[in-house]
Amino acid sequence: MLDLFRLEAETQCQVLTAGLLELERQPAAADQLEACMRAAHSIKGAARIVGVDAGVRVAHAMEDCFVAAQRGTVRLHRDRVDLLLRGVDLLGRIANTPETELGTWAANGRQQVDDLLGQLASALAAGDPPAPAAAPAPEAAPAQAAAEARPAAAEAEVSDRVLRVTADNLNRLLGLAGESMVESRWLKPFAESLIGLKRLHYNLGKTLDELRDAVPQGALGERARTALADAQNGVLECHRQLAQRLAQLEAFDGRSTNLANRLYGEALACRMRPFADGIPHFPRMVRDLGNALGKQVRLTVVGETTPVDRDILEKLDAPLGHLFRNAVDHGIESLERRRAAGKPAEGTITLEARHSAGMLLIVISDDGSGIDLERLRAKVVERGLTSPEIAARLSEAELLEFLFLPGFSMKETITDISGRGVGLDVVQDMIRRVRGTVRVSTRAGAGVRFALELPLSLSVVRALLVEVGGEPYAFPLAYILRTLRIRRSQLETLEGRQHFALDGRRVGLVSARQLLQGMGEELNGDELPVVVVAGHGSAYGLVVDRLLGQHELVVHPLDERLGKIEGIAAGALTADGAPVLIVDIEDLINSVDKLVAAGRLGRLRSGAAAGAARAGKRVLVVDDSLTVREVQRKLLARNGYEVEVAVDGIDGWNAVRTGAFDLVVTDIDMPRMDGIELVRLIRADIDLKSLPVMIVSYKDREEDRRRGLEAGADYYLTKGSFHDETLLEAVMDLIGEAQAPA
């Protein structure tokens, strides 16, 4: 009985909150007064049945207020609405008190109840002068109409038979329905393969006809003519039956696909709830927050009945809360500024939910002052996030992206509500976790608009299929910035890492084979298929073998016994029933960051000849000085050598183990690992001990030279004494000229 009471109290408290917010705008709205009075009366009756006396007293006092307002002796202005909303909160706390603590709460909470009842009694005793005759009620707004429709919808829902089903059962049902939908797609390619068989039958019939025409009429005996005629008739009959069966198969394919889609739709609908179920507390939150800041703010909701997946609805609570707090604090102006701008005293925040192009679109907009783009531009420069020259060239969309950076805030002061720069980055992170995207736009003096685009269900993912190492992988579209093909000549190496230019910025290039299969084999050809992915503020271009196109996949969680597989989120089946792994993009980006930090990130060979037989001598230059590295690299490259660089001993050791080089040129003094240790490691490795190594260092003492040569270096040059010719002569002495071997 207490469980039923809690359920009824929760439902009726939502009705009371929605009604009181509307009565604050229209104190004489008869329909809202009636709805609130009935809700309070229902809570009172339910509390009396279960013996919760505190709930009976509070609900009875609130009911008296609504009755007095109906009679016109009391007007529900803002202060009285505040008082009644406190009563709603108190009823919620009473209803949610555990059964074992009800007695304790009745003793400890008596003072709260008595204080509220005293204030409500004072409000009734004060009374009000008779209100003027109310004008005809305006046509109900969409949000109001939806609010009025909710009780009727709730009654209709209660009238249906309700069964208790666990979330796990629903998930399994949805998974099976998804599998049936995928399996049904197998019929279409099978039917298309039969069309090829039908064509073969047709060609066989033509061949028999040609054979009959080629043989003279009298050359065949009676038996041969009969056999040939039977063969022709048999082919024609096979062709006819095949065409008939093919037509039946196509019809069955249509029915099967339709049935599978309907089954999946019904299973998906079991997980759906109206959008209104996840947002009942937001209108009250916006109103109370506005009051705390001295602003009049109202939340209008459009699309309350839009069906939303339960899991997504739960995950939307925090992002929407952040956006509403920002809108009230940052967006909606003070009363004086709104009047000066010719706007209504009451600010409006609109929340809209609808389905669009197979996605759930949620839009949060306000009628506030909007974002000052020039002030934002100045703030970006002030924070050192970019130079003034680049900031001046940023478009509006690029500029607004800075709002999502961690710790970024436009407010000069920190309050309990905002100013710490925590909010929008959290919103973006949460939206990406459910494979969604968020976009922001603004109009000066007319407000800000946030558009959240989310999948209709977390059980289905829209993904780009790619091939890596001969295996298919699925990259969720929500994390993909761009797909493109780049020429090897577009690659540049900076600080030992490969980059390419994309929309005016440098993007690191990574081999997907190294991340997913632990190997960095190179692709043939001059063009590289690249998928640019983003997450946690980082973006990388992943080189894949092939792009296979977009697909909609039903997500299948991997067996728990496998544990967490690095870089993999789940599994799926393609349209032809083949298994495919869904990539965990954020995990993959974390792996790249770790490889970069450890200096273990492999490189793709640059140059048009990559992937073919090596055409020249390759030299690895290891030095922590950018200037020295570039001087040596350009000098050797101008003379026909293929040069790669490493920033220290660790980077050089990883490079020499993963690439084939003819010579290593290294400095001595470097962080993490010096040149002497690098030479010793090379000489101790069975596969590398014969690799020529040259030391080029500022250390020119005899003991330094002897130490380098004793470690295993083949040559020792000092930076202070050698000229270009000296280095080139030493390189040619060790590995010869740069021409390819005959």
Report helix angle 282-292 to 2-25, nearest 10: 50
* DSSP output for 343-375: --SEEEEEEEEEEETTEEEEEEEE-S----HHH
Task: Tell me the average pLDDT across 237-259.
Answer: 80
Q: Say which residues have a Cβ less than 8 Å from residue 717's Cβ, sequence separation at least 6.
A: 694, 695, 696, 697, 726, 727, 730
Mean pLDDT of the chain: 78
* Of the options 3.40.190.10, 3.40.50.720, 3.40.50.2300, 3.30.60.50, the CATH number for the domain spanning 618-735: 3.40.50.2300
Q: What is the pLDDT of residue 536?
A: 62
In this prediction, residue 721 carries a pLDDT of 58
pLDDT in tens, 89-109: 888 888 877 777 766 666 666
Mean pLDDT value across residues 565-576 = 79
The predicted model gives 52-66 an average pLDDT of 84
In sequence order, the β-bridge partners of residue 10 are none
pLDDT at 739: 62
Confidence of residue 742 (pLDDT cuts 50, 70, 90): very low
- Residue 657 CB: number of other CB atoms within 10 A? 14
Tokens of 671: 């962080």
pLDDT: which is higher, 382 or 525: 382
Gap between the Cα atoms of 437 and 477, Å rounded:
10
Edge to edge, the sheet with strand 642-646 lists 642-646, 618-622, 663-666, 693-697, 715-718
Q: In percent, how much of the chain has pLDDT > 90?
A: 5
pLDDT at 103: 66
pLDDT, mean of residues 211-225: 74
- Predicted pLDDT of residue 364: 93
CB 450 within 8 A of CB 364: yes
What does the pLDDT read at residue 146?
43
Q: Is the pLDDT score of 147 beyond 50?
A: no
Q: Per-domain residue ranges for the chain?
A: 2-135, 167-270, 274-455, 460-598, 618-735
Angle at 681 between CA 678 and CA 685, to 5 degrees: 145
Residue 161 has pLDDT above 80, yes or no: no
In eight-state DSSP terms, residue 339 is H
460-598 CATH fold: OB fold (Dihydrolipoamide Acetyltransferase, E2P) (2.40.50)
Residue 651 has pLDDT above 70, yes or no: yes
Question: From residue 369, how far is each of 330, 335, 340, 419, 441 by CA, in Å?
Answer: 9, 12, 12, 17, 13
Provide mean pLDDT across the span 223-245: 80
Each residue of 625-637: pLDDT tens digit? 877 888 888 888 8
Reduce the secondary structure of 594-640 to three states and give it as a string. Answer: HHHHHCCCCCCCCCCCCCCCCCCCEEEEECCCHHHHHHHHHHHHHCC
Q: Mean pLDDT, to the nearest integer, of 468-494?
A: 84
What's the pLDDT at 102?
Answer: 67
CA distance linking residue 645 with residue 702, whole number of Å: 28
> For 508-558, what is each residue's pLDDT tens digit?
888 888 788 655 455 666 788 999 988 666 788 888 888 888 887 878 777
pTM of the complete model: 0.54
Superfamily designation of domain 2-135 = HPT domain (1.20.120.160)
| pLDDT for the residue numbered 204 | 81
618-735 matches 460-598 in CATH topology:
no
Q: Is the pLDDT of residue 144 over 70?
A: no
pLDDT tens column, 434-472: 778 888 888 888 889 999 988 877 777 888 999 888 788
Could you tell me if 74 and 127 are in contact, meaning their C-beta atoms sit under 8 angstroms apart? Answer: yes
473 falls in which pLDDT band (50, 70, 90)?
very high
For residue 539, list its beta bridge partners: 534
Cβ partners under 8 Å of residue 58, min gap 6: 87, 90, 91, 94, 113, 116, 117
Provide the 10 A C-beta neighbour count for residue 344: 11
Average pLDDT over residues 310-319: 84
The predicted structure's pLDDT at residue 312 = 85
Q: What confidence score (pLDDT) does residue 450 get?
A: 92
- pLDDT tens digits, 581-620: 998 888 888 888 777 766 666 666 544 434 443 456 889 9
Task: State the distance between the two ends of the chain, measured CA to CA, in whole angstroms.
Answer: 93
Percentage of residues of the chain with pLDDT beyond 70: 82
Instruction: Assess whether pLDDT exceeds 50 at residue 148.
Output: no
Q: What is the DSSP letter of 204?
A: H
DSSP code for 135:
P
Query: How long, in residues, is the chain?
Result: 742
In CATH terms, 274-455 corresponds, of 3.40.640.10, 3.90.1300.10, 3.40.50.11060, 3.30.565.10, to 3.30.565.10
